[in-house]
């Protein structure tokens, strides 16, 4: 397996991540919900006191465990549980939802704020903003990847983000780990119940307002790139590069595709 250092993927990813890292400091105890393969987890853990990662999918959880142990991240706790039923005896400075808020009901979110967030803590949400584009993309992917499981492709995307978190001389070890998981994930059979875990809704603005209403101070950062998406058909990497450059210049809400929300100071 040849791991390519995909600069463009890095560029867009780190562009989003930068806004999250700006809000986190070395003293924070962070809870990340729906952490996937650890796309954001490991970089954030490098910049904070401790990180607790909750992931319901057992393959993603196993991968995170192996990645953590292989690259010696000592401040990460990884938990394989359903966040809707979680009972942690601890409060956090930051609760982070990276593309995962849509899996949870308002009730779960309210409970997590009450039971898991410190009084002066923050909630950070990174997500997509446009249902239509997201659904279109998902339907195209489903057709193109018919019969294959999405989780295999999720790891393919995640590898670009994860490689940034390891030193150059450990790339071979990373490659072996990836290959092992590609083999495991490729063998998984397509099964509708498997997709239940991936049932994902983009919260509409009313839902977002519901949990925003618990906070006094809200910051929103929008990434405007929707008008450039057709370019992806020409050259994915070139267009992503321009998209990220333009995102930096124009953060216009009505054209935006992704956003980061920072909610802090409870009422
Ligand atoms: C769209 S992925 C996002 C992964 C990663 N945070 C990222 O931004 O690339 C959402 C993740 O939430 C996880 N998830 C869904 N429902 C969950 C639940 N009830 N408890 C914990 N994790 C859940 C899924 O398994 C999936 O890995």
pLDDT the model gives residue 56: 92
From the CB of residue 82, how many other CB atoms can be counted at a distance below 10 Å? 12
Q: What is the pLDDT of residue 190?
A: 64
- Torsion-angle region of 79 (φ positive above 0: left; ψ -120 to 50: alpha; else: beta): beta
Q: What is the pLDDT of residue 242?
A: 75
Give residue 260's pLDDT.
85
Residue 147: the pLDDT is 61
What is the set of domains in the chain, with CATH numbers?
A: 2-266 (3.40.50.150)
Nearest atom in ligand 1 to 154's CA: 9
Instruction: Return the closest-CA partner of residue 76 out of 123, 32, 106, 114.
Output: 32
* Global pTM exceeds 0.85: yes
- Any idea which residue has 């279109």 for tokens? 136
Short-list 226, 220, 212, 211, CA closest to 257: 226
- Cβ < 6 A, ligand 1 pocket: 34-36, 39-40, 54-57, 60, 82-84, 98-100, 103, 197
* From 100, 154, 156, mutation site for ligand 1 pocket: most ligand atoms within 8 A of C-beta: 100
Best residue among 33, 34, 51 to mutate for probing ligand 1, ranked by most atoms within 8 Å of CB: 34
What does the pLDDT read at residue 140? 76
> Which residues of the chain are under the pLDDT cut of 70?
1-14, 130-131, 133-134, 145-148, 190-199, 204-206, 225-237, 240, 254
């Amino acid at each position: 397996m040849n791991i390519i250092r995909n600069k463009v993927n890095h560029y867009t990813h780190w562009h989003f991540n930068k806004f999250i890292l700006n809000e986190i400091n070395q003293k924070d105890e962070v809870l990340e919900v729906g952490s996937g393969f650890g796309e954001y987890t490991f970089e954030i853990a490098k910049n904070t006191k401790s990180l607790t990662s909750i992931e319901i999918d057992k393959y993603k959880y196993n991968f995170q465990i192996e990645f953590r142990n292989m690259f010696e991240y000592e401040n990460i706790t990884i938990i394989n549980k359903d966040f809707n039923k979680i009972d942690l005896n601890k409060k956090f400075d930051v609760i982070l939802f990276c593309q995962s808020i849509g899996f949870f009901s308002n009730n779960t979110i309210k409970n997590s704020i009450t039971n898991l967030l410190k009084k002066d803590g923050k909630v950070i949400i990174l997500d997509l903003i446009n249902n239509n584009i997201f659904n279109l993309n998902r339907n195209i992917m489903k057709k193109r990847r018919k019969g294959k499981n999405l989780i295999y492709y999720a790891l393919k995307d995640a590898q670009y983000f994860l490689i940034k978190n390891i030193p150059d001389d450990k790339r071979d070890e990373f490659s072996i780990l990836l290959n092992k998981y590609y083999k495991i994930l490729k063998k998984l059979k397509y099964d509708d119940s498997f997709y239940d875990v991936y049932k994902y809704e983009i919260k509409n603005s009313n839902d977002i307002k519901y949990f925003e209403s618990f906070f006094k101070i809200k910051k929103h950062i929008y990434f405007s790139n929707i008008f450039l998406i057709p370019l992806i058909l020409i050259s994915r990497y070139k267009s992503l590069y321009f998209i990220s450059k333009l995102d930096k210049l124009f953060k216009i809400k009505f054209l935006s595709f992704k956003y980061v929300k920072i909610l802090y100071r409870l009422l």
